[in-house]
Structures are given as C-alpha cells and as structure tokens.
Structure 1
Amino acid sequence: MRGRTVAAAGLAVAALTGATVIGAPASAGTARGDGVPAVTGAAAGGGGLERFREQKITWHRCRTGPDDAAGKELDEAKAQCAEVTVPLDYARPDGRTVTVVLSRLKAADPGRRRGTLLYNPGGPGVPAMSLVLQVKQAAPAVAARYDLVGMDPRFVGRSTPLDCRWPTGAVGSAGPDRRTFERSAAVARDLASRCAAHRDVLPHISTRNTARDMDVVRAALGEQRISYLGSSYGTYLGAVYLQLFPRHVDRVVLDSVLDPARYGPDLTRTQGPALNALLKDWAAWTAARHDRHGLGSTTAEVLATVNRINRAAGRAPLRVGRHRVDSRLLPMALFHITAGDSPQAYAGFAADVRVLRDAARGRAVTPTPTLEAVLSGLSAPDDGTTAVQTAIMCADRAASRDPRAYYRDIRAHRADEPLFGPLTRNLTPCSFWPVSPAEPPTEVRNDVPLLMVGATGDPGAVHRGQLAAHRALTGSRMVTLRGAFRHTVYGGLFSPRDACVDRFVNRYLAEGVLPAGDVSCPGGPSSGGRSTR
C-alpha cells in the first residue's frame, strides 16, 4: 500500500453519453481546427501526415528480454504491444520521425465493445504501458467495454529516448537563506546546460505534440473517436487533446484536473495553501494518536515537531542511516505526505517523521523502508525520467529567467510556508533552458461533454485550479470528493479508493450516463458512496 502511495506523490510533484461536439473552437496557436500547424512548400508534400495516420500497426508480445518484468506481466495478461511512428515536428511531417510505444488490452466482452480507451497517469512523463493493468483491475466493467491502451509519450519509457545525463533528479528546495538558494540555482543552471546538446529536439517535446501523437494513434487504430482517462498531468494532456481534436473524442474522464491556464514550470507555486491544509490534517490525526506516534498531543505540537526538524536540517545535514538529509533534500523527502489521507498512509508518514525527529536530536537512526526508498531515489543519478519531465514543461510554457523574482517570492512566503514553500516556489531548469517553446501555450476553452473528478484538499491539483478548469471546459460535469486530502481519486489507482466517485466514473464510461449537474461525494477514507447535489 505504501509503495503505491509514494508513487502517487511522484505524480503530484513534477489532472462520458458519448461526447457530442457543439461548436468547440480551435485552439489558439493553430491554423486549422484539427490541431495540426499549417505547413507549406516541401513540408506539405510527400503525403504529409496521412502516411502516419494510415500506417499499419503490427502488434506483438511485450516482453523484450529475460529481465523485462513489466513486459512479462503484460504478456501474462494477454496484452499486445506495438510501435507507432510520428513526426518530431508536425509542421515538417516529412522530416525527422520518432517512435511512441503502445500496449493494448482488448475488451473483455467483445460483443459489447464500445471502442478504445487511452489512459495517461500523469507526470508529466510517466510511462503508461504497464499501468493499463491497474485500470483493468480497478474497473473490470470498463475493461469489458473498451480496449485499454497505454501510450508511453514521446521520449518517455520505451518510446524514442532522450537522456541529458543529469547527475541528480531534482533541484530541490531553496533552503533557509540566500546562500542555499544560490546553490540550488547553480544546480538548475547546470542541469539545463546538460540538455543543450538536444536543442534540436527540445522544442518538440511538448504536450501539444503528444496530443497530436495520440491522434495519430487513434487514426492508425482505425477509430473515428477515442475515449480517454487522464489523471494529474494527464488531465492537461486530455484538455489539450480536446481543444485540438474536439471531433475525435468519445467519453472523457479527467481525474484531479490541473488549471490549463497555469500549467507549466511554475504551477507548483499554487500548492502552498493546500499543502499546509494537508499537513495540518495529518498533524491533527497524529495528535489524536499521540500514545502511538509520540509526535505531540495537539496539532500545534505535531507541527512544531516538523518545524524543528526543518530548522535542524537548515543548520546541518541530518544523519539518516547512510544518508545525509540537508535543507535541499528534507522537503522533497517529506513531500510524499501528498500520497493520500488513508490511516495507513498517515501512520506511515508519522513513522518517517519520528525517524527524522530522532535524527534531528542527534540520535543514530534507521530509516523506515519507505523513507529509505525515497532518500535512495533522491540521491541517485537521474535515469532520464526527470530530465524528460522537465523538458515537457519547458516546451509547454516559458518560465521567468530572473532568479531574483523566485527568491523574492520565497522570502515573502517563508512565514506561511516554512517547510514546502522553498521547494514549490523555487526556480527550475526551465529558467535557464537553452531553447524557447516552439508554440504558445494552448488556450483551453470548449464545450465538449466530459466528466471531472477531484478532491477539495488535493495538494497536487489544487481545488481552485480544478474549478478554473471546470469553467474553461463548459461541457464538463464535476464530481467533488469533499473533505479529502488526496491527489487522484478514481479507482484506487494511486490513492485511497472512494465508492461514490467510482460509481459515477464507471457508470459514465460503461453506460454513457453523465450526472445531470455537479455532484459532491462525502470525503474520508471510509466514505460509503453517498452523493449530494
């Protein structure tokens, strides 16, 4: 269970009758309503995009070798895998190409097959191939009606790779003062410089191009329309696809929706109030169980314990087993509080904090298995994943290139966001990125019918952003899990499962029934599935 919740925290760091289109406008920055940039001259010749849309998909086994555990699991589930060729730059379809890799689980009930459902779990840059197995397990009624397809987006997972050879996976927190901030800025500058060798590719690693890749996949599959399930960043990808290709969507579910008008390198700046509320909720839960966790008998005492740990790490690195946890690492190590609000997740986080408290007191400690896994991941060289995630955000929206603006923002919020503010408000490699985005950000505004689900206390896709997306997507219906502090809410895929949310999503995907209006579900890890309108 805790392994799954830590994975959900990773998704937080770094958002279905058949959909009838009613005059959805083309996106800003496109020349036509089909999401493809206008091309002229040689780029328009040689068959253009049709050769990609009409390519034949050759399905095969998924396992690539004896050490490929994920491929073996897909094969055992009778999944199929394939490669699809797409243009690197859609404005030059006769130029360089890249490959995206797919997995497919055929509908369990072929006689009642609705079509294809493509799933994106978020990130950005999280591979989706293996995760279709979780969707099938979580929603067998949906798996009966749809071929489930997981696509590793361009440059992600098994698709054409990109590796900037980063020595670390994150810039981390700005720490307690100007000196530590400048140190984090130097890390960001160095990471950006390591991607400069790929400057011919970087502008094209955008969400807009991934959405275009999705449409090539749709056409190559022979589908007139495709259904979609996206969570976290996957909601932004879904919103961009809706905007570019409104006539090609069927039933769409967006779980924990990001504000499409703010998505980009600096989106984490919006998380402060939600993270504070989550930390306070955990502290209250822990204080009520002081006899078990020993971190304080009141909410204020538990929060004071966390603040003392933070101050101690700012003075000198904490010795946690074989690790040294300084002010840069500590907020990242504690960020997995965003993994969910179940009793198991809260108790596990309390155990981690207890270890850190003892380390702050100078005691010899052994990290919990979860804390060991988190710290090991933070100290390991990047395997390419974080660099690609960063490249996607840098290609989607330009970031401020003034480090002083970030430092002023961090200083302004030190009092109200002492732990996570220097992390979520810190600059990123996008402030020093070697190229600019090739296209402007997608302006999302349409009336395509779809279903949104999310929690009021979501620390990753904050509720204010969910509401902004709901206003922009005027054909949406929204199911809100009240009083819950979790990122993603459907199917128990990455956080505690909720029967009420699941009922609305499954009914929509399987039967095409959207709620008549917006709906609320009562929150809490043991919610009984009642709803209120």
Structure 2
Amino acid sequence: MIRAAKPAAALAALALTILTASAAPAAGVTAPPPAAAAAADPLAALRGQQPRWHPCTTGPEDTAGAELDAAGAGCTELAVPLDYRRPDGRTIGIALARLPATDQARRLGTLFYNPGGPGVPARDLALALRRAAPGLAARYDIVGMDPRFVGASTPLDCGWPTAGPGSAGPDRLTFDRSAEVAKNLAARCAPYRELLPHISTRNTARDMDLVRAVLGEKTIAYLGSSYGSYLGEVYLQLFPERVGRAVFDAAMDPDRFGPDLTATQGPAMAAALTAWAAWAARHDDRHHLGSTTAEVLAAVERVRLAAGRAPLAVGTHRVDARALPQVLWTVAAGDDDAAHEEFSALVRVLADAAEGRPAEPTALLEAVLSGLTAPDTGGYAAVQTAIMCADRAASRDPLAYYRDIQAHRADEPLFGPLTRNLTPCTFWPAEPAEPPTLVRNAVPVLLVGADGDPAATYPGQLSAHRALTGSRLVTLRGAFRHTVYAGLFAPRDACVDTAVDRYLLDGVLPVQDTDCPAARP
C-alpha cells in the first residue's frame, strides 16, 4: 500500500466524525421512519431505509469514482448499528456501489463482491470484476461494499507512522525492537477503544445482510477472494438462508483466521521461493543467480546472512535483517514469467549489495523499500489490524512469540521471524466483543484455489472445505499464486473460470472435488 502522513487536525476531525456518527444519518441516507414492528424486529427501521443513489465521483482527483460513473454505477451510503447488540444505539455509515446487470432481461439477481484484505475498499473494485468477468456482469447487479471503517465506510485512521512491526530479526534485541514498534502502534489506536471491539468480520457480515435487505433481495450471490472468502464463510454461517450461490477464491481457514494466521504461512512461502528458484535457474543467463535450484537458494541464503551481519546498501536505502523478509515476501506476487522476471532482478540487486558491489534498486524494489518506511496513508494497515484483533484474541505474552520464533529458526530461517512475529494485537487497547465465529454448515458453496498459494495456504483451504460440508473444491495444481479466478490478481486459468462461471451462472456445482493442472509456458 502507498501511505502518507495524516495531519493531526484531520485526524482530530475524523475522530469527531466517528464519535458523533449517530447524531445524524450518513450522507446519502434517508432516515428511516419509526416502525411499530421495531419491537419484534429491532432492525426493522434500518431495513426500511430508502437508499439515495448518486454519482460515485467525490472530486476532480477521484478517477476510480469517475470510472464507476462512466460504467453506469450508482453509489449510496446506508446507516448500520455500530453494535448489533444495541441496534437502537449509535450508527455508522456504510458506502457501496452497484453496477446494474448489462443484460437486464436475463438478470439473475445481485452479486456481492469482496476482493480481500482485510482493510481493502471493495466499492471501487466492483468495476474490476465487471471487466474481468463480463459474463457475470451481464446477469448480475454487482455490489461492492466498503467494509465498516474501511475506505468510504466511516474510515478509521490511527495515524500510524509505519504499517507494522515487520520481522523479529535475528536475535532478542531485534525482536524487542519490533515489539516496541507494535506496542506504539497499538497505543495510537487507543483513542478509538470504544469502536475497536465492533470492527469485526462478524459485524461486516451483518452489515452485508442489512444492505441485502435494503436492496430488496431475498437472497444474494457472493464472490469473495482471500479475506473476502472468510467474510463469506462468516456470512454463510450467520445467514445460511440468504445465500443463493457463493464462491470462495483462496479460502481462508475459518478456525485460524485472526492476528496469528500468518504463523501458518512460512512453509508455503518457502515453497513459493523454491518454485521461483527453479525458474531463475532456467534463466541464469540473465540474472546469474545460479544454474540449479539449490544454487539460487544458496544465493538467497547468502543475502540473508549478510543482512544479519550489517544492513545492505541499496541506493539510498538500508536493508537490514528485519526488513529483508518483507522485501522477499514479494515472491508471493505471482508465478508467471513476468512476476518471476521482476523478482529475479530484485534478488540480483540484493545479491550485489550483499557482495559489497554498488546496488541500485529496481522499480519494484524501490516501491517496496519506500513502502516499508512510509506512514500508513488512509489507515489501511491500522484498520486491517483492528479487524483481525476484533475477530480473534491474540496472546498478550510477547515472549510466547519469541519462543515460537526460536523454535522454528532452523526450519523457517528466512520467513519464520516475520510470519511468527507478534502484532499490535498483543498490546491492543480493546478485547473482541464476541468469540470467533465457528463455521460449520452444509450450505452448497464452491471453493477454488491453488495448492501452492503462499497466503491462503492449501492446508487452510482444506480446513475450510471440511468445515463447509456442502462445498466442492476445485484445486489448481502446481500453481504458486494467491487467488485464481478471472485473472483479477493472478494469471487467468480457463479450467477454474469454467467451474466458477458454470456455478454462478447455471447453478451447477462439480459433482465431486476437481483438479485443474496449472498451465506452463
């Protein structure tokens, strides 16, 4: 993410806006009239809202909004309870965009789309789905809803000077430094402690169902990628009768989702790195990192050891042992030739720096290194953390994380200190309002994903498959990419796309779990 500092005055104004949000309806919302049915249904009045659709553009610099308007979208804001246990209390605003089906005569209904995150706005990305999957866009109204406190939905910004604590580094001293960063970031969210327990996926799922009701839809279709799959899993559990057809792309483990989910990612990241190393060995004539997979991995290990001795000089940047795993995390960007080419050039620069030669960053490396030291513009990292802290409690013992890192130094030397490190949730100023959602149901749903996914690991996908006993799983075999449908964030695969489109458009689930072999250049 690109981040920039938020002035203190703007942060104070934001705090005032959030804390007084219940004093008046959100912009674009028609205040619901009193309803006699409220006693029987405490949400009846909110479900009776009449959305005021308006252009999506917010100003001359809003190119995403202008593109939505050009595509015929309408935007609106709806009021939802901050705390669903107190539906007549404070409300917040939820922003959404709706793209009407392009073939209204054959319209199937409304499809909600969440591209992932958490902390990523979904409203503007509805148009990306329409462009990537015109067949779906013809038959469904596509709704992109910014989750609560994200994007245009009553945004929360804690004013973080950086996105997170990063890697724990090679020793106790560097671990303690990362813990201090995490503690400082958590403290910056303390002014919003009354809001923090309610920034959960569970409440976003409730918001989604309230929006469904306001739009007058008895049921919805749903497509969720990455974190969007977990949001879908929770929605499916809370509102099983409201789901028509649902697809979860790169399904998250519903029993693990929370601040410590990354602890499962180290082996998958190492496997993705090994797959890249095999590619780099076949192209040693360009990057000179080694002519075998083992030689390429040895070059990466030399970089790791050098960064542990002293920071690597890369242009104006210094890459130390705490930053290096975050830089090498970009191997998860994709498994196609273009992505591997970019990553190989990045590693070549790091290898030069490790060997004491002049090293200037590639465009990708410059973007990564600049991002690591940049402030959290818009509060995306803070709200991402807040969602995970509200979904599942983290250990309050910092040393528990250090002991876990030490126990895995030998088998996860590169990524373990990053994936197993503590987060601001260890020092969070609020506890979750509810226990984690236990996902166990037999609602029909289609799961698709890659068996080498470095973020939504395949064991996690299988866990989701077991929890959702009515599901079918389509696995893209031999692929090391995160998400697999429609080429939205990774190379397109015809086998996966056919399975998804056949279900969402025709209602036909595969009769059994299916494998799709990943295409190779």
Determine the C-alpha separation between the residues in 2 that align with 1:373 and 1:76.
Answer: 31
2:450: which partner in 1? 455
Determine the C-alpha separation between the residues in 2 that align with 1:525 and 1:183.
Answer: 43
2:19: which partner in 1? none
1:180: which partner in 2? 174
State how 1:82-101 maps to structure 2 within 5 Å.
82-101=76-95
Given candidates 438, 441, 461, the residue that maps to 2:436 is 441
1:199: which partner in 2? 193
2:127: which partner in 1? 133
Aligned residue identity for 1:144: A
Aligned residue identity for 2:175: F
Aligned residue identity for 2:473: M
Determine the C-alpha separation between the residues in 1 that align with 2:74 and 2:371.
Answer: 31
Would you say 1:351 and 2:345 are equivalent positions? Answer: yes
Q: Deviations over 1:146-166 (max 9, x none)?
A: 001101100001110111111
Would you say 1:476 and 2:471 are equivalent positions? Answer: yes
2:372: which partner in 1? 378
2:164: which partner in 1? 170
Is residue 448–residue 475 contact of structure 1 (8 Å, CA) maintained in 2? yes
2:499: which partner in 1? 504
Q: Kindly tell me: are residues 480 and 47 of structure 1, through their superposed partners in 2, closer, same or farther at Cα, counting changes over 3 Å?
A: closer
State how 1:353-432 maps to structure 2 within 5 Å.
353-383=347-377, 384-432=379-427
How far 1:326 moved relative to its partner?
Answer: 1.5
1:519: which partner in 2? 514
Q: Deviations over 1:453-499 (max 9, x none)?
A: 01111111111111111011011011011111111000110111111
2:27: which partner in 1? none
1:151: which partner in 2? 145
Partner-residue secondary structure (3-state), 2:367: helix
Determine the C-alpha separation between the residues in 1 that align with 2:477 and 2:93.
Answer: 41
How far 1:317 moved relative to its partner?
Answer: 1.7
Determine the C-alpha separation between the residues in 1 that align with 2:352 and 2:478.
Answer: 32
2:331: which partner in 1? 337
Aligned residue identity for 2:412: E
Partner-residue secondary structure (3-state), 1:376: helix
Would you say 1:230 and 2:243 are equivalent positions? Answer: no
How far 1:361 moved relative to its partner?
Answer: 2.0
Partner-residue secondary structure (3-state), 1:502: helix
Determine the C-alpha separation between the residues in 2 that align with 1:411 and 1:394.
Answer: 24
Determine the C-alpha separation between the residues in 2 that align with 1:400 and 1:164.
Answer: 22
Partner-residue secondary structure (3-state), 2:516: strand
Would you say 1:326 and 2:320 are equivalent positions? Answer: yes
1:104: which partner in 2? 98
Would you say 1:467 and 2:462 are equivalent positions? Answer: yes
Determine the C-alpha separation between the residues in 2 that align with 1:185 and 1:142.
Answer: 46
Partner-residue secondary structure (3-state), 1:59: coil
State how 1:305-320 maps to structure 2 within 5 Å.
305-320=299-314
How far 1:336 moved relative to its partner?
Answer: 1.3
Q: Deviations over 1:504-531 (max 9, x none)?
A: 10111111111111111002355xxxxx
Aligned residue identity for 1:251: R
Partner-residue secondary structure (3-state), 2:203: helix
2:487: which partner in 1? 492
Partner-residue secondary structure (3-state), 1:127: coil
1:295: which partner in 2? 289
Q: Deviations over 1:405-446 (max 9, x none)?
A: 111111111111111110000000001111110000000000
Q: Deviations over 1:228-284 (max 9, x none)?
A: 000111111000000000011111000001110111100111112111111111111
Is residue 119–residue 230 contact of structure 1 (8 Å, CA) maintained in 2? yes
How far 1:46 moved relative to its partner?
Answer: 10
Partner-residue secondary structure (3-state), 1:223: coil
How far 1:45 moved relative to its partner?
Answer: 5.1
Aligned residue identity for 1:422: P
TM (norm. structure 1) is 0.89
2:21: which partner in 1? none
How far 1:365 moved relative to its partner?
Answer: 2.1
2:208: which partner in 1? 214
Determine the C-alpha separation between the residues in 1 that align with 2:322 and 2:74.
Answer: 43
Aligned residue identity for 2:282: A
Determine the C-alpha separation between the residues in 1 that align with 2:153 and 2:447.
Answer: 29
How far 1:364 moved relative to its partner?
Answer: 2.4
Where relative contact order (Cα < 8 A, 6+ residues apart) is larger, the structure is: 1
For structure 1, which runs of at least 5 residues remain unmatched after alignment? 1-5, 8-43, 527-533
Determine the C-alpha separation between the residues in 2 that align with 1:327 and 1:301.
Answer: 21
Is residue 497–residue 525 contact of structure 1 (8 Å, CA) maintained in 2? no
Aligned residues: 485
Q: Deviations over 1:290-346 (max 9, x none)?
A: 111100111111111111111222222222222222122111111111111101111
Aligned residue identity for 1:260: P
Determine the C-alpha separation between the residues in 1 that align with 2:476 and 2:445.
Answer: 17
Would you identify which runs of 4 or more consecutive aligned residues in structure 1 move more than 4 Å?
44-47
Partner-residue secondary structure (3-state), 1:296: coil
Determine the C-alpha separation between the residues in 2 that align with 1:285 and 1:164.
Answer: 41
Determine the C-alpha separation between the residues in 2 that align with 1:80 and 1:312.
Answer: 54
Aligned residue identity for 1:427: L
Aligned residue identity for 2:493: D
Determine the C-alpha separation between the residues in 2 that align with 1:76 and 1:330.
Answer: 42
Determine the C-alpha separation between the residues in 2 that align with 1:312 and 1:497.
Answer: 38
Is residue 129–residue 152 contact of structure 1 (8 Å, CA) maintained in 2? yes
- Equivalent pairs: percent with the same residue? 68
Partner-residue secondary structure (3-state), 1:349: helix
Aligned residue identity for 1:283: A
Determine the C-alpha separation between the residues in 2 that align with 1:296 and 1:176.
Answer: 26
Worse-matched range after superposition: 517-526 or 296-305: 517-526
Aligned residue identity for 1:329: A
Determine the C-alpha separation between the residues in 1 that align with 2:41 and 2:58.
Answer: 33
Aligned residue identity for 1:56: Q
Determine the C-alpha separation between the residues in 1 that align with 2:209 and 2:234.
Answer: 12
Determine the C-alpha separation between the residues in 2 that align with 1:399 and 1:337.
Answer: 28
CA RMSD of aligned residues (A): 1.3
Determine the C-alpha separation between the residues in 1 that align with 2:506 and 2:128.
Answer: 21
1:41: which partner in 2? none
Partner-residue secondary structure (3-state), 2:131: helix
Is residue 46–residue 94 contact of structure 1 (8 Å, CA) maintained in 2? no
State how 1:269-284 maps to structure 2 within 5 Å.
269-284=263-278
Is residue 452–residue 479 contact of structure 1 (8 Å, CA) maintained in 2? yes
Partner-residue secondary structure (3-state), 1:143: helix
How far 1:199 moved relative to its partner?
Answer: 0.5
How far 1:47 moved relative to its partner?
Answer: 6.7
Q: Kindly tell me: are residues 117 and 201 of structure 1, through their superposed partners in 2, closer, same or farther at Cα, counting changes over 3 Å?
A: same
Partner-residue secondary structure (3-state), 1:333: helix
State how 1:254-269 maps to structure 2 within 5 Å.
254-269=248-263
